[in-house]
A and B are shown apart, each in its own frame.
Chain A
Amino acid sequence: MTSSTMTRNDTTITVEPGQTTIVVTREFDAPRERVFRAFTDPELVARWLGPRNQTMTVERYDARGGGDYRYLCASDDGRESWFRGVFHEVREPEHITQTFQFEPLEDAVALEHHVFEDVGGRTRLTMTSIFESVAARDGMVASGMDEGVFDSMDRLAELLADGGEHPS
């Protein structure tokens, strides 16, 4: 399934049935050196990477080859999620290769490629996450339900009400 409205700066998610990858693309009105900095400077990362309505606390964010990261996302009701990974390669300003893990799922470590392309002074970001199985990939897409879709009862009702059906 591909969500692909092509207006400027829209986020596109590609999750093909039966595949083990999630591809996220987005363009930014900034040169890639700046976008790259926002991906590697711990203070900047903490300002945008956490889920909505959660407080992100960076324990470590050593963005260089062989470095690692670990951060905590805490919701208002006290639920805490730890994430961690290792930077395999950090090649400024064009490519980051790293692992990603939601800590409780120790067998579901993803390999991620973040590619920063220069498009006339703007930046096109392509983030490819590769999971070890289709089930683990699907679980990643679904697991956000913990903090995302169910943070609002209205959204939950909406989700369940039209799940699988398309009323006109």
Chain B
Amino acid sequence: MASDPLSRAFTALADPTRRDIVAHLAVVREATVSDLAEPHDMSIQAISKHIKVLEGAGLVSRARDAQRRPVRLEGEVLQLMTKWIERYRREWEDRFSRLDEVLAELGDEDQPATPDDQEHDQP
């Protein structure tokens, strides 16, 4: 079993269900195990196992006192927001780069005979 925090987080987030749980908690801040099980068509037990892995990786914590023991993201994970914003920006930059290409193609359609191109297609 991996021992350093990076490897534990790395391993925990390799699973798509656990990534969904983290993303969901980023929206709702805290949720019970049954809340988290609901969208996944999985048993409470199966989700509990996933949450234990996330907990072991320090990505989520569970309140000890309250009876429903809500699950929440650890503060350090929330601090990754800055990184997420940069990643979010890169995602849009990616889309817009593709959009640039689409726009360039549309430009060619609109202007089939710009002065630069005239030598190719003159009748």
Using a CB–CB cutoff of 8 Å, the interface residues on chain A facing chain B are: 1, 3, 9-13, 15, 22, 24, 26, 28-30, 34-35, 37-38, 44, 47-52, 79, 104-105, 108, 135-136, 138-146, 148-150, 153, 155-157, 159-164
In the complex, A3→B14 CA distance in Å? 29
A30 to B102 Cα, complex, angstroms: 10
Across-interface contacts of A148 in B (CB, < 8 A): 87-88, 90-91
Instruction: Indicate the size class of the contact surface on chain B.
Output: 35 or more
Q: Among A3, A145, A160, A162, which residue has its beta carbon within 8 angstroms of that of B9?
A: A160
Given A9-B96, A146-B16, output 17 extra A-B contacts at Cβ < 8 Å. A10-B93, A11-B93, A30-B103, A30-B106, A34-B103, A34-B106, A38-B106, A48-B95, A49-B95, A52-B91, A108-B27, A135-B28, A138-B26, A141-B88, A142-B81, A143-B27, A145-B22
Chain A's closest residue to B82 (CB) is A1
Instruction: Give the most central of B20, B39, B102: most A CB within 10 Å.
Output: B102
**A13 and B27 contact, CB distance less than 8 A:** no
Give B89's nearest chain A residue, CB to CB: A13
A38-B103, A164-B80 known; A139+B27 contact, CB < 8 A: yes
Find residues 58-114 in chain B having any chain A CB closer than 8 Å to their own CB: 76, 79-96, 98-104, 106-107, 110
B92 near A13 with CB under 8 A, answer yes
**Distance in angstroms between the alpha carbons of A146 and B27 in the assembled complex:** 13
In the bound complex, what is the Cα–Cα distance between A30 and B101 (angstroms)?
A: 11
Contacts of A160 in B (CB 8 A): 5-6, 9-10
The listed residue (B76, B83, B88) touching A13 by CB distance below 8 A is B88
Report chain A residues within 8 Å CB of B14: 153
**Shortest Cβ gap from A20 to chain B (Å):** 13
B19 at the interface (CB under 8 A from A): yes
Beta-carbon contact of B13 and A150 below 8 Å:
yes
Q: Does B23 contact A (CB under 8 A)?
A: yes
A163: chain B residues at CB < 8 Å are 76, 79-80, 83
Shortest C-beta distance, A31 to chain B (Å), equals 9
Which has the most chain A C-beta neighbours within 10 Å: B10, B27, B28?
A: B27
B29 at the interface (CB under 8 A from A): yes
User: Cβ of B99 and Cβ of A38 under 8 Å apart?
Assistant: yes
Q: How far is the CA of A135 from the CA of B30 in the complex (A)?
A: 11
Residues in A with CB closer than 8 Å to B26 are: 138-139, 142-143
- B88 surroundings in chain A (CB, below 8 A): 13, 15, 22, 141, 144, 148
CA A143 to CA B22, docked complex, whole Å:
9
Provide the bound-state CA to CA distance between A32 and B38, in Å.
44
User: Which residues of B are found within 8 Å of A3, using beta-carbon distances?
Assistant: 85-86, 89
In the complex, what residues of A have CB within 8 A of residue B89's CB?
3, 11-13
